[in-house]
Amino acid sequence: MRRTRATLILGLCLALLFCYAGSANAMSSSSSGTPTSVYLDFRVTIPTILYLAVGTVGATRDLVTFAVTDLPGTGAVAGASSGANPVPVRVAALVGAAATVTLRADSSSPLTNGSTSIPFTEISWTAAGNFSSGAFSGAAAQQLDQFTGPGNRTGTYAFSYANNNYYPATVAPYNGTVTYTLSSP
């Protein structure tokens, strides 16, 4: 009988100890007839998130084409996109308030038709919205725009082919790709 009683008392002591230890991490308060308060801390962590879209959002990549119908020196040729025209551009960034967000283009590989090439320096754009107008430099990391802080920036690019130089007429079109990159250190 003594052993059972001692075991029972030990069990109750351990149960109280576990109850006290389990509540040690939680804030609690009690009072009789007066208000009581407790606090609960919250934390939201927002990582750096970058979003870039150039062209129509969807399953296919847009193609900008130029239909040259006159000799060089007679004026620029406007481009037509297989998607929306002018081409939509969107940059969204979740970054620190003072962080920089940089939009770059790689136009270092020219347009080719297999045997002849046209440098991307022949192509320019007029921007609307939050972006700058310019021309491709033919560089691998040409800076197009730079922004500070978080935000959503939208606009469009209307592309033009300079048509200032004589390039051989061919049956196959000149094709090339520009790669856009969005970064934030």
Q: How confident is the model at residue 4 (pLDDT cuts 50, 70, 90)?
A: low
pLDDT digits (tens, 9 = 90+) for 72-103: 999 999 999 999 999 999 999 999 999 999 99
Q: What ranges do the domains of the chain cover?
A: 49-183
Higher pLDDT, 9 or 166: 166
- Say which range, 15-24, 31-40, 143-152, has the weakest mean pLDDT: 15-24
Tell me what the mean pLDDT of segment 102-118 comes to. Answer: 95
Can you give the pLDDT at residue 13? 45
- Quote the mean pLDDT of the chain: 88
Higher pLDDT, 19 or 179: 179
150: pLDDT strictly greater than 90: yes
Q: How confident is the model at residue 180 (pLDDT cuts 50, 70, 90)?
A: very high
CA distances from 146 to 72, 93, 142, 165 (A): 34, 12, 11, 32
Q: How confident is the model at residue 68 (pLDDT cuts 50, 70, 90)?
A: very high
* Token pair 């972006």 in the structure block, residue: 131
Q: How confident is the model at residue 131 (pLDDT cuts 50, 70, 90)?
A: very high
What pTM does this model have? 0.79
Long-range contacts (CB closer than 8 Å, 24 or more residues apart) made by 134-142: 136/105, 136/107, 136/178, 137/107, 138/107, 138/108, 138/110, 139/106, 139/107, 139/108, 140/106, 140/108, 141/104, 141/106, 141/181, 142/104, 142/105, 142/106, 142/107
**Percent of the chain at pLDDT exceeding 90:** 74
Can you give the pLDDT at residue 25? 61
**8 A C-beta contact, residue 88 and residue 156:** yes
